[in-house]
Amino acid sequence: MANNVGLVYDPIYLEHETGAHPENPDRMRATMALLEESGLLARLARINARDATPADLALVHDSRYVEAVHRAAQEGGGWADPDTLITPRSYDVAARVVGGTLAALDAVVAGEVASAFCLVRPPGHHASSAQAMGFCLFNHVAIAAAYARQRHGIERVAIVDYDVHHGNGTQDAFYGDPGVLYVSTHEFPFYPGTGPAAEIGAGEGRGCNVNIPMPHRSGDAHYRRAFEEIVVPVLRRYEPQLILVSAGYDAHFADEIAGQQLSVDGYGALVSMIVDAASELCDGRVVAALEGGYHLVALPWCVRRTIEIMRGDAATPDPLGTVPPREPVGFDAMLAEVKALHEP
């Protein structure tokens, strides 16, 4: 019997109009079209997004930064950094992204759905307390982790981030905090330049920040090993009460923003391991929220596969297939270094 999986999507997410920027509304249009054509959309429980309040945003972001983004949008927008555009609708859209993620979390914690996927944009994991960067304005997954603890009294939250880029904003939010485990696989060295294995947390949070810096051209087998040998054991040791996923699909081989070699099947294997760990550790409570992924065929198929796995459905073969495996330079040495840093 299929699991009851919730979906957050709001048409407002199209209103962050970025033109020819890689992070543009076509990402949502293409993904929603595939979900609808496949019949999967009709089998999901729709969760209504709400607007995040300033207090919600202040769980991670400096209130002066929140107001600066609001003011910039009201004044017509502009570039927050060389990659990150604020448009006249960006504050309202990004607040609904956060609010949608929090609504999904509420629904999962209340048992209204078994798990949830948030089809949202713009992404969030690069946004720090007081800085927009890397296409990101507000850090929806980090805010959700803080909200889960404050609103629902959850003591241990795990965030698994498989975007191709390191989530520097999420790492910064919880670097000294043992109440949040942050685990990231990301191409390294690559934008934003953070996330070496040696960044393991500080103070009481030491050991609760797990960076797995994947070499250029890592593929399905390498990511699978990273999850089997590091991510899943670390989750088991931490015993989270909730797993949040920064679901970035820009490590797919077709995505030109980076240089990794994952396929839809490869992503499916990672999601399966997260879902299985959640079933074992936290009653299956998973909230996944979209981060990156810019190829307009690969992204929709990765999202579809993720939701199929969350529901327990049979995986639909994807049209993109795989690429011939390559052996990235330094993978075994990297894996050994991370293990040495995080083995009990």
Residue in 61, 70, 126, 186 annotated catalytic: 126
Reported as a single tens digit per residue, the pLDDT across 259-309 is 999 999 999 999 999 999 999 999 999 999 999 999 999 999 999 999 999
Reported as a single tens digit per residue, the pLDDT across 139-194 is 999 999 999 999 999 999 999 999 999 999 999 999 999 999 999 999 999 999 99
Percent of the chain with pLDDT over 70: 100
Mean pLDDT of the chain: 97
**Residues near 186 by beta carbon (within 8 Å), at least 6 away in sequence:** 161, 163, 164, 165, 166, 167, 195, 211, 212, 213, 214
Per the listing, tokens 């797919």 go with 252
Record the tokens describing residue 19, joined without a space: 């033109």
- CA–CA separation, 222 vs 40, rounded Å? 30
Determine the pLDDT at residue 2.
72
Reported as a single tens digit per residue, the pLDDT across 198-256 is 999 999 999 999 999 999 999 999 999 999 999 999 999 999 999 999 999 999 999 99
Mean pLDDT of 45-52: 98
Record the tokens describing residue 325, joined without a space: 């495996």
Domain boundaries, the chain: 5-342
Q: What is the DSSP letter of 201?
A: -
Is the domain defined by 5-342 classed in CATH 3.40.800.20?
A: yes
Record the tokens describing residue 239, joined without a space: 């015993």
Determine the pLDDT at residue 1.
47
Determine the pLDDT at residue 343.
86
Determine the pLDDT at residue 170.
98
Strand-pair category, 180-187 with 78-81: unpaired
Note if 125 is an active site residue: no
- CA–CA separation, 181 vs 274, rounded Å? 14
